[in-house]
Chain A
C-alpha cells in the first residue's frame, strides 16, 4: 500500500446540519445471534446502539453508490466485488490493502481520496453504525501499517498490559476470555510496533472501544490505532510516550482557553484549588471512555477522527465546559473533580457537546498564540508554535524521531 496524502485541510465555513439520531430505532440482532456468544462478539460493532436516522442511511448509501465503478448486475448477492469486470489496479488494490475488505469500504476510500472536504462534512452530519468502522479505517489510512508483520510478541509492556487486561470493563463483552485475548493482542502488538510508546494506561480503553466498533477485528484495530500513533494529525505517540508530552501541552492549551473564554469557571476552580486537569487527563488518555457513556464516546470519536487529536479534543472539552458552566459554578471541590463522570451518572450528552463544538471551534491561531505566551517549560511548546502552519510537519517528524514508523 502506498503512502496516501491525507492533508487535513480545514475550511472555515460549515454549511450543514447534523442529523438527529433516534436511539429507539436500532437494528436488532436476531435472537439466535445474541444467544450465541461467539457470533455476538463478532457482530457487536454492527449492533451498537449509537442512534439511527433513516435519512442518514439513505444519504450515505446514495453517496457511496455514486463511486461504483461499473454498473453491471451483481453476479452474487454477497458483494459487489464479483460484479466488477475488475481492472487490474482495483484487484491489486484489494490485494495490497487487506484493511479494505468490502466494496462499500472501497467506495468510501474513493470518496475520501477524491472529495476529502465533503467526506469530512458527511462525517460531521453523522455516520450510520454500519459504515462507522469503515469510515474510521479510511480516514486514518496513510501508511498501510497492516502490511507490517503483526504477531503477538513479548515486550517490556507485557506485564503492564497483563495487569490491565482484566480491568478494561467498558462492556460486558470484555468479561469474555476470547475478547480479552483480542484486546491483549491489540495492546501487545502496538507495544511491539512502537516500543518507545509501549503501553500506557488509557490505551486499553481506546483499544477496547475500537474493538467494539470494529466488531472485534483485532488486526484492523491494531492498524487504526497504529495510524493514530504515527500520524502528525493525531500524534498519539506524543500523547502516550514517556512523560506524556502532548498531554501536558493540551492541558496548558485548554486551561488557557478556559481562563480566557470562561473566566468565572476558571476562577471557581482556582478558588477550590482543583485543577480541571484532573479530568482533562482522563479524557485525553482514555479517549473519553473513562468518564463518558460508551456510545457517547463512539460519537466523540467520529468527531476526533475528522478534526484530529488536538483540535478534536480541545473543541469537545471546551464545548462540554461551556454547556455545563452554570452547573459547575454551583459545585464544591469534591463535586468539581467528579462532575464529568457522566458514565456513573448515566448521562448521555455527546450530541449536545458535538453540536456546541461545531458552533464554536477553536482556531489554530489561538493555539499558536497560547504557545507563544506560555512560560511553562514544556517539551512541545516549540512544535505547537507552528501548529497549523508550514513547518509543523517537519518539526513533528523531529519530535517523533525514532518513535513513529
Chain B
C-alpha cells in the first residue's frame, strides 16, 4: 500500500477512554465511513493517511488505542516516537472528560519529546450533552492545545481535527528541521524525513523543507 511521495512521516496517537469514538473518528477520516456496528478496539490499531498541508504532504501513521485502563501497558509502548496526540472524550460521558487529564499526564510521564496535541470532544450529534463547550475550551487552554467538538457519526469537524493538527505539525517540523535531522537515524526517532527510499514511487522532486 504505497501512498506515494510525502515530505514527512509523523506518528500520531489517539487516546481517550473506552467508548468515546476514537475508532469512528479515524474510520471517518481515513475511510470516509461510519460503522453503526462498531466494536471495541483490542490493543492498538493502525492507519495511514497522507495529509496535505499547504504545499507539504505529511504522511500520518495513526495509532488507534484501546481505552480500557487495563490496556495502558500495551498502549504506552506505542507512545515512543509519537509527534502528534489526539485526546478524545465523549460529550455525553462526563467521566471520559474527567479522565482526559489522566491521559495527558500519562503522555507527560512517558515521553520528554515535544508533541503537537489537540483536544476533541466527540458525539456532538447527541442530545444528551454532559460536558459544556466552555469546559473543553478551558481544559485545552490549560494545556495549550487546540480544541474542537466533533461528530464522527455526522462527519462534522472530523477533517478539521487533522487540518489543525497538521498545521501545527508543519510549523513545528519546519522550525525544528535541524533538530530532526540530528535525530533521524535514532531508533524509533520522533519522525523521519523522506521515507520514500523504501517505496516504489520515488519522488521526482526532492524534499524542499529541510
Q: A163-B19, A273-B188, A332-B2 are in contact. Are A204 and B48 (CB under 8 A)?
A: no
Q: Nearest CB to that of B61 among chain A residues?
A: A333
Residues of A within 8 A of B43 (CB): 277-278, 281-282, 285
User: Beyond the given A164-B19, A333-B46, could you list 5 further A-B residue pairs with CB under 8 A, ordered by the A residue number?
Assistant: A163-B40, A201-B18, A201-B70, A281-B43, A332-B199
Whether, in the assembled complex, B47 has its beta carbon less than 8 Å from a beta carbon of chain A, the answer is: yes
B74 close to A204 (CB less than 8 A): no
6 contacts between A and B (CB under 8 A): A163-B40, A167-B39, A205-B42, A282-B43, A286-B42, A331-B1
B44 contacts partner chain A, Cβ-Cβ < 8 Å: yes
Residue of A160, A240, A242, A334 near B18 (CB, 8 A) is A160
Binary per-residue interface labels of chain A (90-115) against chain B in the complex, 1 for a CB within 8 Å, 0 otherwise:
00000000000000000000000000
Assess whether B44 is in contact with A278, with CB atoms less than 8 Å apart: yes
Distance (whole angstroms) from the CB of B152 to the closest CB of chain A: 14
A128: chain B residues at CB < 8 Å are none
Which one of A201, A244, A281 has the greatest number of beta carbons of chain B within 10 Å?
A201
Cβ of A243 within 8 Å of any chain B Cβ, yes or no, is yes
Contact A334 B47 (CB under 8 A): yes
**Is B66 positioned at the interface, with any CB of A under 8 Å from its CB?**
yes
In the docked arrangement, what's the CA distance between A337 and B44, Å? 10
Chain A residues lying within 8 Å of B42, measured Cβ to Cβ, are 201-202, 205, 281-282, 285-286, 290
Mask of A253-286 contacts with B, CB within 8 angstroms, 1/0: 0000000000000000001011001100110011
Decide yes or no whether A26 CB sits under 8 A from chain B.
no
Q: Which chain A residues border B198 with CB–CB below 8 Å?
A: 271, 332
Let me know if A231 is at the binding interface, CB within 8 A. no
Q: How far, in whole Å, are A205 and B74 apart by their CA atoms in the complex?
A: 19
Give the interface SS of chain B, mostly helix, strand, loop or mixed: loop
Q: How far is the CA of A200 from the CA of B74 in the complex (A)?
A: 13
- A/B pair count, beta carbons within 8 Å: 75
CA distance A160 to B61 in the complex (A): 29
In the assembled complex, B73 has its CB within 8 A of some CB on chain A: yes
With most chain A CB atoms within 10 A of its CB, the pick from B1, B39, B42, B46 is: B42
Tell me whether A163 and B18 are in contact (CB under 8 A).
Answer: yes
Q: Which residue of A lies closest to B73 (CB)?
A: A243
CB neighbors of A among B1-53 (8 A)? 1-2, 18-19, 37-48
Q: A273-B188, A286-B42 are in contact. Are A281 and B18 (CB under 8 A)?
A: no
- B106 interface residue (CB < 8 Å to A): no
Residue contact A242 to B70, C-beta cutoff 8 Å: yes
CB–CB A200/B68 < 8 A: yes
Residues of A within 8 Å of B73, CB to CB, are 243-244, 248
B49: nearest residue on chain A (CB-CB)? A334
**How near does chain B come to A282, taking the closest CB pair, in angstroms?**
5
Asked whether A290 and B18 contact (CB < 8 A) given A201-B68, A244-B73, the answer is no
A335 and B48 CA atoms in complex are apart in Å by 10
| Chain B residues whose CB sits within 8 angstroms of the CB of A277 once the complex forms | 43
Q: Which of B150-182 contact A (CB under 8 A)?
A: none
| Identity of the chain A residue whose Cβ is nearest the Cβ of B72 in the assembled complex | A243
Residues in chain A near residue B48, CB distance under 8 A: 333-334
Q: Which residues of B contact A164 (CB under 8 A)?
A: 18-19, 40
A278 and B46 within 8 A (CB): yes
7 closest pairs, A vs B, by CB?
A281-B43, A337-B46, A334-B48, A163-B19, A334-B1, A282-B42, A169-B37
CA distance A167 to B18 in the complex (A): 12
A345 within 8 Å of B by Cβ? no
